[in-house]
Amino acid sequence: MNVIFVGQKHGKSRAFTLTPVTLSLVTLLFTALLALAVWSGYRLAVPAIAAADDVPASPLIATWQQRLADQQDELVYLREKTNHHVDALTLRLGEMQARILRLDALGQRFIESGVLGNDEFNFDSRPALGGPEDTGLPGESFSVPELTAMIAQFDRTLADRERQLRLLDELLSRERIETERFVTGRPVTWGWVSSRYGYRTDPFSGRRTWHNGVDIAGREGGDVIAVAAGVVTFAGVRGGYGKLVEIDHGDGLITRYAHHKSIEVEAGDVVQRGQLIAKMGSTGRSTGPHVHFEVLLNGRSQDPEQYMQRARR
């Protein structure tokens, strides 16, 4: 291989011939110099890097790191607080749902009693709502404080409605009780008046005697019913009454039913208007199957026909 060097002066050139041995030596020398340069640079850079690692962080970086840690702690706190709010709201919604179910049951009772019309109120379906959608404004979700305030307001309204409905239910219950306790009607399902209240000729002695009740004749074994709701205070045999049932209707009002073939109730039973209390018979001082019916007000006998002829409430 020939290597030509051109000089800057006079443009003269010189040519050198490189043998393979010379070229190998030159290449080896160049490689050695390059390796020496790389090793020297590495030795100089390692102390500089170690010194840079020992330099403390700047105050600005430390401040931002502390802010980031504080924000992470606050995020964890807010997440826990939100979960507590959601749990509390869920619990209140569950309680309110149970109260609404009770109100629905109460409303259903009003429908069954005829106070509310089932065509107008249907407690098994959701209320009908609607309206055009406002496309001009975007929809927004309620915040937790707004939702809490709405639930609190709804809770107060629900409590007020519960008080009103309970009061209405109590009034209706009292009215029903008073209606059921109102003595009216005949104590038999079939029969006729065979002896009225007042003086009469005694069927056994033929003398003029006082009759405290009304006799209603019928067939033996016929139904004898309560003319009003009340509590059975006596059910058994008593002297000339034979088998007797006595019912207390409150407010000093008592009815008596006598001469039964059998008694279908016991003392202490609560009976309703129209309930079967005995079977017609002729026990005691009697000439045939009939019911001796008495009405007493504060212990004094009353004319039963005045109650039998009264219109029902």
Q: What digits encode the pLDDT tens for the residues 28-66?
A: 777 777 777 767 766 666 665 555 555 455 677 778 877
Question: Which of 81-90, 201-210, 293-302 holds the top average pLDDT?
Answer: 293-302
Q: Span 185-212, mean pLDDT?
A: 92
User: What is the pTM assigned to this prediction?
Assistant: 0.50
pLDDT in tens, 247-278: 998 888 999 999 999 999 999 999 999 999 99
3-state class of 3 per DSSP? strand
Tell me which residue has tokens 């992470």: 72
Average pLDDT score, the chain: 78
272-276: Cβ within 8 A, 24+ apart? 272/180, 272/226, 272/229, 273/180, 273/185, 273/226, 273/227, 273/228, 273/229, 274/225, 274/226, 275/225, 275/226, 276/223, 276/224, 276/225
- 């003392």: which residue's tokens? 267
**pLDDT (tens digit per residue) in 280-294:** 999 999 999 999 999
Beta strands per DSSP E along the chain: 2-6, 13-17, 192-195, 198-201, 208-211, 214-217, 223-225, 230-238, 242-250, 253-258, 260-263, 270-271, 276-280, 290-297, 300-302
Whole-number pLDDT of residue 33:
74
Q: Compute and round to an integer the Cα radius of gyration of the chain.
A: 54
Model confidence at 133, pLDDT cuts 50, 70, 90, reads low
Q: Which residue has the higher pLDDT, 58 or 125?
A: 58
- Which one has a higher pLDDT value, 263 or 113? 263
Q: Please, are residues 235 and 263 in contact by the beta-carbon 8 Å criterion?
A: yes
| CA–centroid distance for 289 within its chain | 55
Supply 53's token pair: 């690692």
pLDDT at residue 28 in the model:
72
**196 vs 217: CA distance, rounded Å:** 12
Q: Which of 103-107, 111-115, 273-277, 306-310 has the lowest mean pLDDT?
A: 111-115
- Sign of dihedral through CA atoms 118, 119, 122, 125? positive
192-308 fold: Glucose Permease (Domain IIA) (2.70.70)
Question: Which sequence spans correspond to the domains of the chain?
Answer: 2-49, 63-123+142-181, 192-308
Strand partners, 198: 211
Q: From 252, 250, 246, select the one nearest 292 (Cα to Cα).
A: 246
Helices 59-113 and 144-181 meet at what angle, rounded to 10? 20
Q: For 114-245, where are the alpha helices, taking DSSP H only? A: 144-181
